[in-house]
Chain A
């Protein structure tokens, strides 16, 4: 996917350009870091030009790979002194271009911070460096029958530092919460190079809840250099049910029925026909091909609770006109049910040269209406769309299929995506549930926030980074960008109705 829309212009948001030449900066950086940790040749910089949103690319000036907190502090202080913007980067799996480099700035990679520093099974915490992969935490604490709950789809590759920066979710957030609910403490280095601890090893902290503020701040407020996560006991049992429907609306209503019965499933996922077929073609897990939609409902807890709830859910689903209710007979079948869901994105990706993943969240009661409207828009824009999403918490992931090589198709795709996000806000939802704003959705921020609210965000940014040098141009549109965007045709910045 290639796009020239909304490229960040560092000059637009900063007052000042770097006061050092590239060669002088290289010399200074090599005083702090071994030369092998400072990359400046184009072929070395190329892998850093984008994150998982490859539509936006930019070669940075320099990439640095420190491996101690002191080095991070020194690099930050140096960049601060010389007005060099900094973009922090974890594994580069972000879907919103949050780690897109800046032409005259450096990329600070946390890839070398890969150690699990301490596991405390009694306190149920793990103290880890930011470059530790999400799934590596659960693997490391598994021997204590503990795990780290947030499980973004990219969990085998994404890192905990990036998870904190994006407030990542996953399949299990309805019951176990997002990253913000599952961390206790973060150490960050600010733009000036100071090391600051937010949160604590206790359950709360004196002063403002800066831990919540830094979580999901998309690398705009500080560089995360250490994280203490909360660990949960592994549930004694997890059971997955696969429920098939002959209409998407029925599946949507069934979601509400389960929750209305007082059951909070560990995961509650919906896939529509296009997604079911794509997944089945790809991984052959036995999904029902005659269904218009399926729900995957995972129940976990003690043996007794799971048994009780399984019976209840099965009964409810039959009342909701399910055409089939399957309960995984064993762990192998449970994993097979999930395999299709986890493979859904790449599976859908095989149906077209390119796909564009949206991330709006809506109140669940509007599920049926929004899905219907997305289908109408699909016809209107002449682009197919597959739906695979976290139905339990209303977090949609429409996947728009397109071909970037067909002239005009990318622009049409982006316009379609914009309509979907506008629709999400109109029904009381938001433009991003877990992927972040980054550079991708910076214009759609106007659907959700007015200029006073955006100004409040800028004031917060200023409190941490007065020179606007940390990941400038991301997450919050500048007033200048606001006025430009609002003059574009077909853009309504209607405010959502929260109440």
Chain B
């Protein structure tokens, strides 16, 4: 699909400003479950699609925000390239706009970088209904404040993304997965130890006493690294990492299994070498120890506090409508929150974009 509806979208935003109508920005609707409950009238950017510019040798692709990650990845793959931050595709529905807004990065994140590390520039509708561009389509650009990376993870509260320029990378020619059974403390130690060596590590995972590493790169480098770190080769490695990327891994379904429907799924982002987090519930560990997924019925305040104590933060990844009416992202300090409100006013003075999706008062 290739369609530019930016003029229509601009018109809709201008009307929303005139009528003080709050907007709920939607594209593929695959991340409806994320953040606080959406409110406002739906503004659909899912039809604003297509690759605007792609020259593989530049390592840059510019796409309209409604373009599906699946289509984008397929196009890149035809030229031996990829989105190194491995965003989930959510059955083909996920779009690049939603991916940027929600900052969705996959298993390779600690080794290859996150969404914001690959965003080079954006074209967007700001809160005045103006179409503006920040950043660009080149690797290095320090002119003006970095408003394009500011959009990453802002949950659509600062503007409507129209186009995104991304850095892309060559696909690794060889990928293998190795596993071993070790206790948690040892697993975390190994994750840090191997990451401190010059090895082609591109993902790590720990669940149920089993530690997994992914090695990717040139053929010989991967084989040599496998010899170095050892373990048992996992033949269905690609499927394993895809299930983590897509959140289809069995752990992610546990909350729907009926045995304890009140359990919430939390994403804990913590320093990779933190002491084991003493919170009730089931967990799996990704990102070299820096991302824990926790299924727990512990109160949100307790989870937020436990993460704050070790210099990390928590966000509710899946919860009930009641849960999502409260704060789902870890509260900010008062001075930081005041700054957030100032920035929100700077970008969206009429307060129409995704109000309350990130924080209740934002």
Contacts and interface: CB of A to CB of B under 8 A. Distances in A.
Interface of A: 120-124, 144-146, 166-167, 169, 173-174, 177-178, 180-181, 194, 196-197, 200-210, 212-213, 215-217, 220-221, 233-236, 256, 259-260, 262-264, 301-305, 307-309, 361-365, 390, 393-395, 428-437, 441, 445, 448-450, 452-453, 456-457, 459-464, 475-476, 496, 498-499
Contacts of B329: 206-207
Nearest to A363: B58
A362 B152 CA distance: 24
Contacts of B270: 202
A144 B196 CA distance: 9
A424 to B, nearest CB: 9
A308 B52 CA distance: 35
9 contacts: A122-B189, A203-B109, A204-B103, A207-B359, A235-B198, A236-B198, A305-B218, A445-B143, A452-B132
A462 B58 contact: no
What are the 6 tightest A-B residue pairs by CB atom distance, in nearest-first order?
A304-B220, A262-B170, A212-B149, A463-B342, A433-B140, A305-B221
Given A201-B311, A256-B57, A209 B138 contact: no
Given A209-B152, A459-B347, A200 B140 contact: no
Contact of A301 (B114, B154, B217, B333): B217
Given A204-B153, A302-B225, A460-B145, 4 more contacts: A206-B315, A302-B199, A394-B140, A459-B345
B114 A203 contact: yes
Interface residues of B, number: 94
B220 A178 contact: no
Contacts of A260: 56-57
A361 B140 contact: yes
Given A437-B144, A457-B145, A203 B128 contact: no
A453 to B, nearest CB: 5
A472 B34 CA distance: 40
Contacts, number: 282
A202 B200 contact: no
Given A206-B315, A264-B169, A459-B347, A475 B144 contact: yes
B165 A498 contact: yes
Nearest to B64: A499
B121 A498 contact: yes
Contact of A205 (B133, B169, B313): B313
A362 B271 contact: no
B147 interface: yes
A170 to B, nearest CB: 10
Contact of A122 (B146, B224, B273): B273
B146 A212 contact: yes
B165 A308 contact: no
Nearest to B121: A498
A365 B58 contact: yes
Nearest to A301: B221
A144 to B, nearest CB: 7
Contact of A206 (B165, B330, B345): B330
Contacts of B271: 123, 200-202
Contacts of A394: 138-140
Contacts of A216: 142, 145-146
Nearest to B173: A262
A496 B135 CA distance: 12
B166 interface: no
Nearest to A167: B142
B192 interface: yes
A445 B142 CA distance: 11
A123 B272 contact: yes
A343 to B, nearest CB: 22
Interface in B157-197: 158, 163, 165, 169-171, 173, 189, 192-193, 195-197
Residue from B52, B128, B141, B225 having most chain A Cβ neighbours under 10 A: B141
A363 B57 CA distance: 10
A437 B143 contact: yes
Nearest to A230: B110
A32 B149 CA distance: 37
A208 B57 contact: no
B77 interface: no
B67 interface: no
Contact of B335 (A196, A203, A390, A393): A196
B60 interface: yes
Interface string B57-74: 111101000000000000
Contacts of A234: 198
Nearest to B218: A305
A364 B130 CA distance: 30
B83 interface: no
Contact of B339 (A167, A233, A463): A463
B343 A452 contact: no
A457 B144 contact: yes
Contact of B130 (A209, A436, A448, A452): A452
Contacts of A361: 136, 138-141
B233 interface: no
